[in-house]
Amino acid sequence: MSLSKETIDKLADALLFEVIDYINSSPKKSNFLYEVVGDAVCDKLGNTNPDGSCSFDGSKLIPAIVDKIDVMIIPNNMPSDPADL
């Protein structure tokens, strides 16, 4: 069964805020942030091994950086009619 573009758009609009809330409250978001910050620190300090792993012990630095970052997933546009929320 194939859904029309209109149906997909309506479903996306209906689920948007619930999905955003789910992502923002998920521990996976935090795990992702730690991983990406770790990759960035390793890259910026030049400690990336040939296999892609990092030879830098960021056990204190990475959490210190993550504590200074707040990442929120938000909609990239809002419905023009507040009644549609």
pTM, 2 dp: 0.67
Domain boundaries, the chain: 27-76
41 conformational bin, left if phi > 0, alpha if psi -120 to 50, beta if neither: alpha
Q: Is the dihedral of CA 44, 45, 46, 50 positive or negative?
A: negative
Beta bridge partners of 54: 48
Three-state SS across the chain? CCCCHHHHHHHHHHHHHHHHHHHHHCHHHHHHHHHHHHHHHHHHHCCECCCCCECCCCCCHHHHHHCCCCCCCCCCCCCCCHHHC
* Residues 13-51 pLDDT 10s: 899 999 999 998 999 998 999 999 998 998 888 878 888
Residue 68 has pLDDT above 90, yes or no: yes
